[in-house]
Structure 1
């Protein structure tokens, strides 16, 4: 393996394969991994009973420990699901924002998350889906339909970023109203269970949810690597892309589909955890200072945001636990307003 240094980049060659490595993105990824490690350990240590970091490490490594029940059975599955949900949302947000070329675009803003929510709530409220264990499959279907609907309505001889966001917001409002109808007209007991699911919570999360989401992320990895490479071509305008022979429409559709699937699977695993997909890519972009939204850093940032938010949700009003979606919403709503004000003033 050889490395050739360029301005801000390194060209890494391994045999016949070669790829560009943005050095600041790599440093940001290392910093995020360290911050994520510290946060995960803190989340496993803190709770109604405090566990020492040494005992946490023993449990994670599978060694005997008196805290195996507390850490291994109660806290660790919750943290793992939080990591996977955050990574999926961060990556989904980065892909959607890249396709739309707009920092305001994210699955929860442009209707994807509300499509998943409306489908799950409707099926639960009318007794078609009896438990949240079937929610992931319904969420993926609803999110895909909503995402494809937004994409189709926004398409007019190309994908215009502003139209994509505005149509997505309109679809979100319509699906939000439809969700309210389902909650009002459906069975009262089932509707109450649907309301709990809608808050976006990691409470009671287990390895079943983690396993399904892990397989989705693993299957998405080759497509994500392709998307990272395709980001450079998608930054061109349509005329330049046609002149270079690029199939820009197929690239956008592939990236958008991957983002929709990831966001829908994350919603199915933990409910709608709002604003993570909106915030994580922009935080990662500012950390990396790269030309395109860094996909890997966005996934790490999303995981960090969810784990930190869940830790705050568990300890802020202890022993009462808040849903993680409440905490992310409290932070994400002001951030969205800040983005709107900045874009109105002409900021990037």
Structure 2
């Protein structure tokens, strides 16, 4: 008699079945995502409560549920639109960082480190400084600039394969060049418009609302099916070229698809919120360390990114009140030391391996 062997389920995983489809999920990742969702909900309520005038949490919940409240103007009109941009931009940055780090197989890689957000920023600043396009078209300009920067980095880094260290180094060089180009645009444009562009470059959410949130929300929603594919494709993207060829995996196509999705998300988020630095670097690494998974879980990365941006913007609004700091200043203050620590840690590991 022949025996049928049941497929081996990896440790720490569970199978979810829905009709003919089944999904393999990591139990710890699900638990971490649930905790992050609760923390994010608490941060959202705190964000809507705190401001020039304090709004009780009960009234915040009433406004969110669409019930009549005397604080509808403060919560629903003044604070909620800005919060919406923070939530969407943080999630987009988190997923984009996870995808870029997966493709590069390097925790140092993120859209703001390898030049994607700098390309989006340079294109947007050029459009703002020279009044080249209408304000509503700026998100599309950001996507074009981010894609152009990604193509440039990918072209220079590709040498019979995509080596992670070369990818990061080329990206840093492109970032520096695009930063210089951005400064050139600022000096050549109108003075008053250039000052507005400088404020945008700091990653400030001040004045952001539903006009910026709509295109970002549309891109995020349209990216959900692609993100579901990307969650499965992450496994094959981590293979080396020889292993992928042996398994018959079209590794170049997988990496290209993940890169395009990450670049589009990061570019649109940059167009909506400005270049909020280091969120795309921090969120995936925090999510991976919390979940202890082999690959960065995209849902956890998105929730972590949203939590970072919402918490940072809340602190930026109230830390030195009535003076308001750009949210990018706080994220850079945390992200820059982390990046230096990550570089030192990566070099020490490489030195230990080579010895």
TM-score for the superposition, normalised by structure 2:
0.95
Describe the shift of the 1:261–1:63 C-alpha distance in structure 2 as closer, same or farther (beyond 3 A).
same
More divergent stretch after superposition (208-217 vs 45-54) = 208-217
Report the 3-state secondary structure (helix = DSSP H, G, I; strand = E; otherwise coil) of the residue aligned with 1:171: helix
More divergent stretch after superposition (190-199 vs 109-118) = 190-199
Offset at residue 249 of structure 1 (A): 0.4
Alpha-carbon distance in 2 for matches of 1:246, 1:240: 9
Find the partner of 1:184 among 178, 183, 187. Answer: 187
Describe the shift of the 1:130–1:236 C-alpha distance in structure 2 as closer, same or farther (beyond 3 A).
closer
- Confirm whether residue 240 of structure 1 aligns to residue 252 of structure 2: no
- Contact 1:127 1:187 (C-alpha < 8 Å) held by counterparts: no
- Superposed CA deviations along residues 294-318 of structure 1, whole A, max 9, x for unmatched, are 1110000000000000000001001
- Confirm whether residue 30 of structure 1 aligns to residue 27 of structure 2: no
The residue correspondences of 1:19-58 to structure 2 (distance < 5 A) are 19-58=23-62
Offset at residue 130 of structure 1 (A): 5.6
Find the partner of 1:307 among 306, 310, 314. Answer: 310
Report the 3-state secondary structure (helix = DSSP H, G, I; strand = E; otherwise coil) of the residue aligned with 2:14: strand
Name the counterpart of 2:202.
Answer: 199
Alpha-carbon distance in 2 for matches of 1:180, 1:108: 17
Name the counterpart of 2:171.
Answer: 168
Offset at residue 184 of structure 1 (A): 1.4
The residue correspondences of 1:48-197 to structure 2 (distance < 5 A) are 48-129=52-133, 131=135, 133-197=136-200
More divergent stretch after superposition (110-119 vs 179-188) = 179-188
Name the counterpart of 1:210.
Answer: 213
Offset at residue 129 of structure 1 (A): 3.4
Name the counterpart of 1:337.
Answer: 340
Alpha-carbon distance in 2 for matches of 1:310, 1:114: 21
Name the counterpart of 1:288.
Answer: 291
- Superposed CA deviations along residues 106-139 of structure 1, whole A, max 9, x for unmatched, are 00000000001111111222221364x4321111
- Contact 1:78 1:203 (C-alpha < 8 Å) held by counterparts: yes
- Superposed CA deviations along residues 20-63 of structure 1, whole A, max 9, x for unmatched, are 10000000000100000000000000001000000000101110
Report the 3-state secondary structure (helix = DSSP H, G, I; strand = E; otherwise coil) of the residue aligned with 2:17: strand
- CA RMSD of the aligned region, Å? 1.3
- Confirm whether residue 276 of structure 1 aligns to residue 302 of structure 2: no
Name the counterpart of 2:322.
Answer: 319
Which runs of at least 4 in structure 1 moved beyond 3 Å after TM superposition? none
The residue correspondences of 1:4-23 to structure 2 (distance < 5 A) are 6-23=10-27
